[in-house]
A and B are shown apart, each in its own frame.
Chain A
């Protein structure tokens, strides 16, 4: 497959270079919100939406910054952009789905510090993607984050029912599980060369 093609960029961000399990981005919500499957699903949706909005906007902002030779402001403008798109999602949710807004609670504003979102913006800039490629990349990354967090939530729901030794409580076992998940995702490396 041509590594520049839209479908390959999507697939690469979704499975081969999964943002959570291969690149270690967005681990805080991955550990923090993966206790129940439905909250995990909502979190994944909100994150994917913020990713899509901020990635398209950061493409535009990068054009402006490059035109005026202001690349050193890139990081600051990206982070401000992400903070405002999170605010946007918050307002939309509050208006159209107050139940979901309450379910996500504190984790909604925390999407701002989700490194996966800044990661998408930074990677698409450093790889020089054009607009369509950026869109495909951000959709793939969002889907990959969702897949990882929902898989993890499913596993952790099973764990609650099993009899475990005391020392595996808190995050220790979750990390082990994530390691095994990550090991299985390495199998996807056979799909194509990693970028």
Chain B
């Protein structure tokens, strides 16, 4: 609940950029992993999923933040879920209208955005405590960070698994695709490799692990 006497801190660039890398929802906070692994077998799917998530994240966080003084504390989680479910139903119908092909590829995972822990987590941890403008900017940053992570995974998986990027042939036809990369195990292995690489770079740079101080905080704050 917002405290009316507390002075709002001004909106800075940090609010926006935090979600992009420093608190990247996937690589640092490990939130919303299900769509991350399930739909990233090509860049196209990753982008579509990322955009759909940004839409739901920004709209629902804006609404939660606007209504934060009216939602009774006891039923807040239920209210948030209903708000999120409304926007997801919208996205579901919009994607169906724009491209049925894409809709069939993403399957149930569009509807499963409802239970993406990232969205509920941000609503609970940020939008319910901060002003409208700040929530919109922060959730936009988080959404972009989420999309970035999806594309990073999807790019590697499509490149190695099909020899393509966004549908364009990258390697010559002699390239033997690593089919396992676009199958389920590839998702886990590519995400694991990205995490290893990020940990390594972070350790070289600062001498400590990026995940260390956030690990305990995340397991509690996961949703």
Contacts and interface: CB of A to CB of B under 8 A. Distances in A.
Interface centre among B116, B183, B199 (most CB of A within 10 A): B199
Contacts of A64: none
A163 interface: no
Contact of B108 (A109, A119, A171, A174): A119
Interface stretch (A6-14, A25-33, A95-103): A25-33
Contact of A167 (B108, B116, B203): B203
B32 to A, nearest CB: 8
B102 interface: no
A27 B192 CA distance: 14
Contact of B223 (A28, A80, A183): A28
Task: Categorize the interface residue count of chain B.
Answer: 35 or more
Given A83-B81, A178-B188, A72 B199 contact: no
Interface residues of A, number: 45
Contacts of A25: 34, 38, 112
B114 A118 contact: yes
B114 A186 contact: no
Contact of B111 (A75, A114, A180): A75
B34 A27 contact: yes
Given A24-B37, A27-B33, A175-B195, A122 B82 contact: no
A174 B86 CA distance: 34
Contacts of B188: 175-176, 178-179, 182
A57 to B, nearest CB: 17
Contact of B34 (A26, A32, A106): A26
Nearest to B196: A172
A176 B88 contact: no
B189 interface: yes
A102 B76 CA distance: 23
A132 interface: no
Contacts of A179: 185-189, 192
A179 B190 CA distance: 9
Contacts of B186: 179
17 contacts: A22-B184, A79-B114, A80-B81, A110-B223, A112-B81, A118-B115, A122-B112, A167-B200, A170-B212, A171-B211, A173-B192, A176-B188, A176-B193, A179-B189, A182-B188, A186-B184, A186-B185
Q: 4 tightest CB-CB pairs across the interface, nearest first?
A: A179-B188, A175-B192, A170-B211, A172-B195
